[in-house]
Amino acid sequence: MVLALEELTKEFSTGFLRRGRHRAVDGLSLDLARGEVFGLLGPNGAGKSTTLKLITGLLWPTSGRVSVFGRAPHDPQARAALGFLPEHPTFYDHLTGEELLAYLAGVCGLRGLDLTTRVQRTLDRVGLGDARTRAVRQYSKGMVQRLGLAQAIVNDPALVILDEPMSGLDPIGRREVRELILELRDAGRTVLFSSHILSDAEMLCSRVAILSRGRLVASGTTSDLTSGQTRGWEITAAQLTPAAVAALQPKTIKAVRITHGRYTFELSAEQRPEPVVAELAACGATLESVTPLRATLEDVFVERVS
């Protein structure tokens, strides 16, 4: 087992004289297997970043246990197998990207030619090869995020932990990060990332966990979480007259005009599409498609965290 969390709980002192208690993570149990991409999802304040800091040893749990490759997070061998991108990375910005990554690679134990080669290859891998000699203070927010990704993988870790890795990236950058995550998976690495961008999680993850107020409210594969849930039907038809549309509208949730004479009609999960299809045929319309509307990860997310 790469990672195991057992009844993990973290409380913080709050209020005047620090006498109050806020439970950021509440009895969380999870496990990750080798070579999977696991998504930790939840709204702001759900406990995602706190959980990742507990895994990396940046915070101590109030109770419960974290095991990284069978070891405590503070064990040197566990730390050597980790790569971590925090949510808001900050660096020594007077250094160039190349100098900074070389320094961090040295902290990880790399030396000599291996260090130089690894630094060059990693900067190229995250799209910063052309900016390697520029000072970090001249980097854009997206470039700093890419540098953070570089330092998370420069030591070739077996477990890569990424806190909001798409933050500050444009669409091209997000696609490149997705490709990098899949490359890590294909190389046998395990990737755990937190996000509130559900489309990324749906595209990348073998499994996800949804947190709300520090508690685990759902977990499993995206197909398991959404399977068997049809939230309605969408019917598309053409050559419709205004009178036909007016007659059909009260029998559907909504009708949306696409172009002249072409509409989509949405039905609820309790309705069957056959009566509407028959009525379309009777009025001379051309049926184009009947599509079941399946529940998405976003639907599950909203339902569980509301």
DSSP string, 176-210: HHHHHHHHHHHTT-EEEEEES-HHHHHHH-SEEEE
**If one looks up domain 230-294 in CATH, what number appears?**
3.30.70.3100
pLDDT of residue 196: 82
CB neighbours (10 Å) of residue 193?
A: 25
pLDDT value at residue 299: 82
Q: What does R_g of the chain's alpha carbons equal in angstroms?
A: 25
Residue 260: the pLDDT is 92
The ranges assigned to domains in the chain are 3-226, 230-294
Token pair recorded at residue 6: 């057992």
Distance CA 179, CA 146 (A): 13
- Using DSSP, state whether 292 is helix, strand or coil: strand
Token pair for residue 273? 């599409």
**Distance between start and end Cα atoms, the chain:** 32
**Would 3-226 and 230-294 be classified into the same CATH topology?**
no
Please give the Cα distance from 259 to 80 (Å, whole number): 59
pLDDT for 294 equals: 80
Q: Residues in the chain with pLDDT < 70?
A: 228-229
pLDDT digits (tens, 9 = 90+) for 62-111: 999 999 999 999 999 999 999 999 988 999 999 999 999 999 999 999 99
Matching CATH number, 3-226, of 3.40.190.10, 3.40.50.300, 3.40.30.110, 3.30.465.10:
3.40.50.300
Give the Cα separation of 155 and 226 in Å (integer): 37
Q: With contact defined as beta carbons under 8 Å apart, do 146 and 127 qualify?
A: yes
Instruction: State how far the Cα of 68 lies from the Cα of 258, in Å rounded to an integer.
Output: 53
Maximum Cα interatomic distance, the chain, rounded to a whole number of Å: 79
Using DSSP, state whether 297 is helix, strand or coil. Answer: helix
Res 228: pLDDT: 61
Phi, psi of 21 (to 5 degrees): -135, 130
Residue among 137, 138, 120, 139 nearest 129 (CA): 120
